[in-house]
Amino acid sequence: MGTIIDGKRISDNLKEEMKAQVVALERQYGRRPGLAVIIVGENPASQVYVRNKVRAAEFVGLRSVQVTLPESTPEADLLAQIRRLNEDPAIDGVLVQLPLPAHINEEKVIDTIALEKDVDGFHPGNVGALWLGKPCTLPCTPKGCLHLIQTTGIELRGALAVVIGRSNIVGKPMAKLLLDQHATVIMAHSRTRNLGELTRQADIIVAAVGKRNLVTADMVKPGAVVIDVGMNRDDEGHLCGDVDFAGVKEVAGFVTPVPGGVGPMTITMLIQNTLDSFIKRESKKQ
């Protein structure tokens, strides 16, 4: 049986380190890093994510602000809230939880967040910098996945990685992060033919589609690292990923569980991005 990558424990350890770092930062700069999280509407999954983000922020000692807006909020009001937080010197990170209600233009919202406060790494300025190999804020989920992959000790140089899913939030940036580690990357997606033929050759599989049992044991090379970004519900309503965990853990060298794998790491990377943003902003003042 393969090793289960304990994302919860890894992220708990990182948060403990960050908690101590926040104490030191406050001593040095006279204020704590501040994170603002905006949620529009009552999407139950989004409410859980936002609650967990605010909880983590408070755990490490950040100044945390949650802005809860009704589903019917006009786009202009949301943009005004973002601009207000952009101007607030006590806030270092501004995050708008996605998805947004249909009447709000997501692109416009992301563009309105100040580049220096974009702790999600979704702003075109950060996305462009990532693809040009310039310093940038990395999106939290792929950043967390790379961290988990690196804990296995696998040699990424020359390894074959198959990333399944091509979203702007996970699949595309994940592929770029693996390329930067000198992996050979195949970007697969819902239209990919013979997915199993590709994944069976892979040293690393990252599944980020949102489809239960997409990756089964017969699709995994013995010893491979399998990272499950999926967040689905099974027939009994239990949280599950894109990977058939019970089967795949018998074949893979390493596999992340759902829950307790990638999810906690995403939140921890958000906190790390906020600390980095704080340090960058404070250093500019010197």
Residues that bind ligand GUN (CB under 6 A): 95-98, 120, 140-141, 169, 266
What are the DSSP E strand ranges found in 152-276?
160-164, 184-188, 204-207, 225-228, 232-233, 239-240, 254-255
On whether the CB atoms of residues 221 and 244 are closer than 8 A, the answer is no
- Cβ nearer to ligand GUN, comparing 219 with 265: 265
For residue 26, the minimal CB distance to ligand GUN (Å) is 26
Is 21 annotated in the active site? no
Is 120 annotated in the active site? yes
Q: DSSP state, 204?
A: E
Q: Exactly one of 118, 120, 203, 228 is catalytic; name it.
A: 120
**3-class SS string, 41-76:** CCCHHHHHHHHHHHHHHHHHCCEEEEEEECCCCCHH
- Cβ nearer to ligand GUN, comparing 35 with 255: 35
- Cβ nearer to ligand GUN, comparing 120 with 203: 120
For residue 140, the minimal CB distance to ligand GUN (Å) is 5
110-124 core/surface letters (b: 16 or more CB in 10 A; e: else)? bbbbbebbbbbbbbe
Query: Alpha-carbon distance 206 to 198, whole Å?
Result: 12
What residue number has its CB nearest to ligand GUN? 98
Cis? peptide before 259, omega within 30° of 0: yes
For residue 38, the minimal CB distance to ligand GUN (Å) is 9
For residue 99, the minimal CB distance to ligand GUN (Å) is 7
- Cβ nearer to ligand GUN, comparing 77 with 106: 106
On whether the CB atoms of residues 161 and 182 are closer than 8 A, the answer is no
131: number of Cβ within 10 Å = 13
For residue 274, the minimal CB distance to ligand GUN (Å) is 13
Q: DSSP state, 225?
A: E
Is 280 annotated in the active site? no
- Cβ nearer to ligand GUN, comparing 169 with 252: 169
For the chain, the residue count is: 286
Query: Which residues are tagged catalytic?
Result: 53, 97, 120
